[in-house]
């Protein structure tokens, strides 16, 4: 998985590409740990994300908690939205 980080004021955007599976989830975790405490919100762009496993979903929940709920996901595919609906993530995290 490739992660591209951009910052705009107090918002950080992480653009994900590839698969967020058991092998890639630790990389996402490192990105979360590296986010400055002054960051107020996070956007995760999933336009190029093809797959997410339960390990990836755990990291999304960790990001949600780190950002005190100020997390949004954008450009998730229909297949990813199905996973988010089944797991209930769509009731917790804001989708754009």
| pLDDT tens-digit map of 45-70 | 999 999 999 999 999 999 999 999 99
DSSP conformation class of 58 = H
Residue 78 burial (CB < 10 Å; 0-12/13-18/19+)?
exposed
Q: What is the CATH number of domain 28-95?
A: 3.30.750.24
DSSP 90: G
Give the 3-state secondary structure of residue 60: helix
Secondary structure class of 89 (helix, strand, coil): helix
In whole angstroms, what is the distance from residue 46 CA to residue 65 CA? 19
User: If you compute the radius of gyration of the chain from its CA atoms, what whole number of angstroms results?
Assistant: 12
Average pLDDT over residues 14-21: 97
- Tell me the whole-structure pTM to 2 decimals: 0.93
Decide if pLDDT at 9 tops 90: yes
pLDDT for 8:
94
Domain residue extents for the chain: 28-95
Predicted pLDDT of residue 37: 87
Alpha helices in 9-94 (DSSP H): 25-33, 54-66, 78-87
């Amino acid at each position: 998985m490739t992660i591209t980080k951009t910052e705009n004021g107090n918002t950080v955007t992480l653009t994900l590409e590839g698969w967020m599976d058991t092998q890639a989830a630790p990389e996402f975790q490192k990105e979360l740990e590296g986010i400055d405490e002054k960051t107020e919100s996070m956007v995760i762009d999933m336009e190029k994300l093809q797959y997410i496993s339960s390990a990836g979903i755990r990291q999304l929940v960790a990001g949600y908690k780190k950002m005190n709920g100020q997390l949004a996901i954008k450009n998730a595919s229909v297949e990813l939205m199905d996973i988010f609906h089944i797991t209930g993530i769509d009731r917790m995290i804001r989708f754009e």
